[in-house]
């Protein structure tokens, strides 16, 4: 049986996000978030919630320089889809989706266990994963001790 983790299955509402598409190691994350938020500011957009990351493949299954991922920030207002531009930046509408989610508290390096446990919970509870994994960053690593970081780990799912 899966260790006792708290999992919720919830409907995530449609939202407009600014995004940056990335290829390469996750060590680029700080720089990529910097580019994303600088671009949001240049465009006059207003962030409307915690940022997130989508992960389209898995470290260890592909070389680090082949990792595909996307960082997102929800933005306020009605903003038409655009991009991505040559730097990978753009705006898009994310459709509503059902997610299975759990919370990870602690350093980002420990999030792997949350993924493993959530994946087992999904399989054991009659769901199947229907898209890339997502992490929602609920605390800022620049002003939060690593042991206190909160990250929601989630997968889009549907009942089998």
The CATH number of the domain where 46 resides is what?
Answer: 3.20.80.10
Identify whether 42 is part of a domain: yes
Would you say residue 3 has pLDDT above 70? Answer: no
Does residue 25 fall inside a structural domain? yes
- Could you read off the pLDDT of 91-111 as tens digits, one per residue? 999 999 999 999 999 998 889
Question: What secondary structure, in 3-state letters, does the chain show?
Answer: CCCCCCCEEEEECCEEEEEEEEECCHHHHHHHHHHHHHHHHHHCCCECCCCEEEECCCECCECHHHCEEEEEEEECCCCCCECCCCCCEEEEEECCEEEEEEEEECCHHHHHHHHHHHHHHHHHCCEEECCCEEEEECCCCCCCCHHHCEEEEEEEEEEC
Say if 3 falls within a structural domain.
Answer: no
Q: What is the pLDDT of residues 60-79, one digit of tens each?
A: 899 999 999 999 999 999 99
In the prediction, which pLDDT does 1 show? 45
Any domain includes 36: yes
Structure confidence at residue 132 (pLDDT): 97
Instruction: Taking residues 52-59, report their average pLDDT.
Output: 94
Identify the pLDDT of residue 2: 44
Q: What's the predicted TM-score (pTM) here? A: 0.94
Does the residue 1 lie in any domain?
A: no
| Residue-range definition of the domain harbouring residue 15 | 8-159
* pLDDT of 51 above 60: yes
Q: Residue 2: inside a domain, yes or no?
A: no
Q: Is residue 43 part of a domain?
A: yes
Number of domains present in the structure of the chain? 1
Mean per-residue pLDDT, 133-147: 94
- Is the pLDDT reported for residue 19 higher than 60? yes
């Amino acid at each position: 049986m899966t260790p006792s983790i708290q999992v919720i299955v919830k409907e995530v509402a449609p939202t407009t996000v600014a995004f940056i598409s990335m290829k390469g190691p996750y060590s680029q994350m700080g720089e990529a978030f910097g580019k994303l938020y600088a671009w949001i500011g240049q465009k006059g957009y207003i962030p409307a919630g915690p940022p997130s990351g989508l992960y389209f493949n898995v470290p260890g299954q592909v070389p680090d320089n082949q990792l595909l991922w996307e960082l997102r920030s929800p933005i306020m207002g009605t903003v038409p889809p655009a991009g991505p531009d040559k730097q990978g930046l753009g705006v898009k509408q994310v459709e509503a989706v059902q997610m299975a989610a759990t919370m990870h508290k602690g350093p980002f390096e420990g999030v792997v266990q949350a993924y493993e446990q959530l994946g087992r919970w999904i399989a054991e509870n009659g769901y199947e994963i229907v898209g890339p994994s997502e992490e929602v960053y609920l605390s800022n690593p620049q002003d939060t001790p690593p042991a206190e970081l909160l990250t929601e780990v989630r997968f889009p799912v549907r009942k089998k």
